[in-house]
Amino acid sequence: MLEILFLLLPIAAGYGWYMGRRSVRHKQGNEHKKLSRDYFTGLNFLLSNESDKAVDLFISMLDVDDETIDTHLSLGSLFRKRGEVDRSIRIHQNLIARPSLGNEQRDIAMMELGKDYQAAGFYDRAEEIFLNLVKQNDHSEMAEDHLIDIYQVTKEWQKAINIINSLKRKRQQVLRHNTAHFYCELAGEETKSRDQVKMLLSAIKQAPDCGRAILTLADQYLALGELAKCHDMLIKLLDADIELVPDALPTAKQAFTERGDLIGYCDFLRQALAEGAGASVAVNLAHNLIEQGESDEAEKLILDGLYRHPTMKSFQHLMQMHVQQAEEGQAKESLSMLEKLVEQQIKYRPGYRCSECGFPSHSLYWHCPSCKNWGSIKRIRGLDGE
């Protein structure tokens, strides 16, 4: 009998182990079922626009582990994208408060909380979070990017420059045009001309092809009476950004006029036109040729431009020339009316467009109001532009 009991002991132990495992599985299954039911209930609250109830439910379920953290991060991001930043902040704050959260997961949650504060306009709180993240050795570039975005919104240009200068050399090169524009913004805040020149030279040092800095520096040198340096900047602009030459025409004309070098101004316009500056330069050159009594050459210049690259600007100028040459009568009146209609059409159409997002504008913006890119707004090319 005793021998039989010894034989049954392993069987009893195995059965006990099996029943224990089954009980644990059953308990876990019930927990997962309850968790699933709670999540479905929370989703129903979201779909029913009862966001507060959904947030309360999700926070009460906040048992953070590797399987649930992504879900809560996604929920917080969803609320932020929907504009419900206060609810996103609650989720991320409760997530960070959990003692079981690992360091890596806490950094991710902190990043999301910083985005929440930034979206809500709490820039000081967001800045503090991102600065703490940047101090860590293994931080991501995202924290740096968000800091730069914040400093652009708050117009703290020197802080933005400092962040970029602290980056790796490769990243600095990628953002060099941004840095140049930040120096240009600093120049605009200076009250002394020499300080403005210093900032603009720093911008050109960062990005030698920054057309904005070169054009603005030409204006500064003209205001200071340093015509030779202004001339150098105008010539430099031809290589750096030919599309900005039409915006430099008033400065160029004044600079060459003050030097008594109208022939040099025409040569400058011809060089710009040869490098593809556009219709505005052709029209200005034609005006100067007419003033010098070379009307035939001016008309030939406009006609050649129309054959190669037809534009409304060149067509309007050609009609102006014909109106001036026409005899008084019905034909001249009709031609004059047509010229005015074309002029109104040119004024109605935007003259600039962002090369990144397509944002149209009647004025030149250095910072696109739509996509927030620097230096991406250019003059429109084609029939309605240059």
Let me know: does 198 contact 186? Beta carbons within 8 Å.
Answer: no
> How far is 114 from 15, CA to CA, in rounded Å?
54
3-state secondary structure of 300: helix
Mean pLDDT, to the nearest integer, of 40-50?
A: 52
Q: Is residue 353 part of a domain?
A: yes
Q: Is the pLDDT of residue 1 over 80?
A: no
Residue 357 neighbours by CB under 8 Å, 6+ apart = 368, 370, 371, 373, 376
The confidence score (pLDDT) of residue 298 equals 87
Residue 174, Cβ density class (10 Å: 0-12 exposed, 13-18 middle, ≥19 buried): exposed
Residue 7 has pLDDT above 50, yes or no: no
Distance CA 303, CA 299 (A): 6
Q: Model confidence over 77-129: pLDDT tens digits?
A: 888 888 889 988 988 898 888 887 888 888 989 999 999 999 999 999 999 99
Per-residue pLDDT, 145: 93
Q: What was the pLDDT predicted at 58? A: 57
Q: For the sheet containing 360-361, what is the strand order?
A: 360-361, 352-354, 377-379
250-301: pLDDT as tens digits: 999 999 999 989 899 999 999 999 998 889 999 999 988 888 888 889 889 8
Whether residue 315 is contained in a domain is answered as no
Per residue in 173-182, pLDDT tens?
999 999 999 9
pLDDT (average), residues 45-68 = 55
Does residue 364 sit within a domain?
Answer: yes
Residue 10: the pLDDT is 47
Structural domain includes residue 368 = yes
Flag whether 12 is in a domain. Answer: no
> With contact defined as beta carbons under 8 Å apart, do 298 and 286 qualify?
yes
Question: Residue 33: its pLDDT value, please?
Answer: 45
Place of tokens 């019905």: 330
Mean confidence (pLDDT) of the chain: 83
Question: Do the beta carbons of residue 213 and residue 207 sit within 8 Å?
Answer: yes
| Element housing 240 (H / E) | helix 227-240
Q: Confidence band (pLDDT; 50, 70, 90) for 15? A: very low
pLDDT exceeds 90 at position 327: no
Tokens of 207: 């990005």
pLDDT of residue 37: 54
Distance (Å) of CA 70 to CA 55, 81, 307: 16, 16, 61
Supply the pLDDT for residue 54. 56
Residue 307: pLDDT band (50, 70, 90) is confident
What pLDDT does residue 26 have? 45
CA gap 69, 60 in Å, rounded: 14
- As a whole number of angstroms, the distance between CA 114 and CA 126 comes to 5
**Do the Cβ atoms of 148 and 163 come closer than 8 Å?**
yes
**Could you give the CA distance from residue 72 to residue 52 in angstroms, rounded to a whole number?**
15
Nearest Cα residue to 178 out of 220, 148, 219: 148
Q: What domain range includes position 382?
A: 349-386
Q: Is residue 383 part of a domain?
A: yes
| SS3 state of residue 138 | coil
The pLDDT of residue 344? 85
Structural domains of the chain, count: 1
Question: For 62-66, 148-152, 376-380, which range has the lowest pLDDT when averaged over its residues?
Answer: 62-66
Backbone dihedral angles phi then psi of residue 163, each to the nearest 5 degrees: -65, -45
Asked, for residue 384, whether it belongs to a domain, the answer is: yes
Residues of the chain with pLDDT > 70: what percent?
82
CB 346 within 8 A of CB 312: yes
pLDDT 10s digits, 202-252: 999 999 999 999 999 999 999 999 999 999 999 999 999 999 999 999 999
Residue 177, C-beta contacts closer than 8 angstroms, at least 6 positions apart: 206, 207, 210, 374, 375
For the record, the structure tokens of 295 come out as: 């009307």
The most distant pair of C-alpha atoms in the chain lies apart, rounded to whole Å, by 137
In a domain, residue 253? The reply is no
pLDDT single digits (tens) 349-361: 898 999 999 999 9
> Residue 199: helix, strand or coil by DSSP?
helix
